[in-house]
């Protein structure tokens, strides 16, 4: 089976032993505490689940700046995006303290993790701007990832952590949320030697469905892991439970049994385009996938990135051998009226745009809100029904 990134075995930071976990949770209630940002708590969840292997905790200022500049830590570990615990105030904390990191997304703000504080450092405005420029490609607060990053605070708490739980993800998404440890075990139990991973923060239409099928066929994969982002998105994106229902219906009706695993992970979307695509590859390798689909404008937002920047970064900036997972490079995929099937557009010679069934996201939302089903060449009718019910409910609430 493919090795995790940076080590021979996966090293999740979740305290799995029930007695040890319970004792640490009791101790956490007596410790000095800080309330994390949503992004910081998502980082802790990912560290706990093994997705951020081989990191042992939150990065310090020097490592974060080095990662932003060169995609390597000071010790030489390849890593694409700083993993930080940023807060607005830490006046009551000193280096050497053992503290509780509290969850902002759960009522009562219980301890999510315990940290051995190695350093408390403040980023300057210039240093924060450097991270934004390198990671997001801009410093504009109109970019949702930049806005979220800058809103967290400038004080970085670094040090090793032990994770107590997986926040709201394991309760609200019990059927879907899985750690990298759990997915790796399920891939092994299935006996899959080659596994394709597909990242999604949206419902899957015919093009996405066929893209998974094409990738599996071409790399000779035994199975596919559809890996849903379950954390916070930008306003207007579909809630996770709606996406989940639509994806489950699609897989149930249109894929052979035991060929697709539907899972989700507890992370907030960064919208960091190319850099986030590389991070996605890291944690798909950690969960055991051998191949990762990277398509057009992967993890992008607006017009901040070129259509295929998330693919070319693997050629231009990721050193050879830095990752063991292989890329499946996908083009925009759509239904061809001439070929009567879904294809990658670059593989359809002598086609014009009007030879494809192409609908904008805005147009699809408008159709669904008005009770109109998109054409079956674009969306499976069972999937469209689920989405239509959601959008029509939203339109009804607006009118009340």
On the CB side of 319, CA atoms within 13 Å amount to 10
CA torsion, ordered 50, 53, 56, 61, to nearest 10 deg: -120
Q: Do 97 and 33 meet the contact criterion of CB atoms below 8 Å apart?
A: no
Q: Is 319 exposed, middle or buried (0-12, 13-18, 19+ CB in 10 A)?
A: exposed
Residues annotated as catalytic are 201-202
Residues 6+ apart with CB under 8 A from 20: none
* Phi, psi for 274 (deg, rounded to 5): -55, -45
Q: Do 113 and 44 meet the contact criterion of CB atoms below 8 Å apart?
A: yes
DSSP symbol at 338: T
Distance of CA 328 to the CA centre of its chain: 17
Structure tokens belonging to residue 24: 């640490």
Q: How far is CA 228 from each of CA 26, 202, 341, rounded to the nearest angstrom? A: 33, 8, 26
Question: Smallest Cα–Cα separation from 99: which of 40, 54, 149?
Answer: 40
Question: Smallest Cα–Cα separation from 344: which of 390, 293, 270, 277?
Answer: 293
Q: Do 4 and 78 meet the contact criterion of CB atoms below 8 Å apart?
A: no
Question: Smallest Cα–Cα separation from 31: which of 108, 100, 102?
Answer: 100
Structure tokens belonging to residue 171: 């309760």
Query: How many Å apart are CA 204 and CA 210, to the nearest integer?
Result: 10
DSSP string covering 85-138: -EES--TT--TT-EEEEEPTTSTT--EEEEEEEEEEEE--HHHHHHHHHHHHS-
Q: Do 115 and 310 meet the contact criterion of CB atoms below 8 Å apart?
A: no
């Amino acid at each position: 089976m493919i090795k995790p990134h940076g080590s021979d075995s996966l090293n999740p930071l979740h305290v799995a032993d029930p007695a040890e976990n319970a004792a640490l949770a009791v101790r956490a209630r007596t410790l000095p505490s800080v309330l994390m940002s949503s992004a910081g708590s998502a980082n802790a969840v990912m560290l706990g689940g093994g997705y951020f292997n081989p990191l042992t905790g939150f990065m310090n200022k020097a490592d974060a700046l080095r990662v932003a500049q060169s995609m390597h830590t000071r010790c030489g570990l390849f890593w694409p995006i700083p993993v930080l615990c940023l807060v607005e105030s830490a006046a009551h904390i000193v280096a050497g303290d053992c503290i509780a990191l509290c969850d902002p997304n759960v009522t009562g703000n219980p301890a999510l993790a315990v940290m051995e504080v190695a350093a408390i450092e403040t980023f300057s405005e210039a240093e924060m701007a450097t991270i934004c420029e390198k990671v997001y490609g801009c410093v504009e607060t109109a970019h949702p990832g930049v806005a979220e990053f800058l809103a967290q605070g400038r004080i970085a708490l670094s040090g090793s952590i032990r994770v107590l739980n997986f926040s709201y993800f394991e309760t609200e998404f019990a059927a879907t949320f899985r750690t990298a440890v759990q997915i790796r075990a399920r891939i092994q139990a299935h006996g899959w030697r080659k596994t394709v991973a597909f990242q999604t923060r949206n419902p899957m239409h015919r093009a996405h469905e066929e893209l998974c099928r094409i990738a599996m066929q071409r790399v000779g994969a035994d199975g596919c892991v559809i890996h849903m982002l379950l954390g916070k998105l930008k306003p207007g994106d579909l809630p996770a439970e709606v996406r989940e229902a639509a994806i489950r219906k699609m897989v149930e009706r249109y894929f052979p049994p035991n060929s697709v695993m539907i899972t989700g992970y507890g992370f907030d979307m960064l919208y960091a385009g190319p850099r986030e695509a590389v991070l996605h590859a890291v944690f798909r390798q950690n969960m055991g996938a051998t191949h990762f689909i990277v398509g057009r404008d992967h993890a992008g937002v607006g017009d901040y990135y070129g259509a295929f920047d998330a693919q070319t970064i693997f050629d231009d900036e990721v050193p050879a051998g830095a990752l063991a997972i292989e890329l499946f490079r996908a083009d925009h995929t759509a239904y061809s009226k001439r070929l009567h099937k879904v294809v990658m557009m670059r593989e359809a010679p002598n086609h014009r745009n009007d030879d494809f069934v192409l609908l904008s996201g805005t147009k699809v939302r408008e159709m669904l809100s008005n009770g109109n089903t998109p054409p079956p060449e674009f969306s499976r009718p069972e999937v469209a029904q689920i989405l239509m019910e959601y959008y029509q409910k939203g339109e009804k609430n607006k009118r009340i």
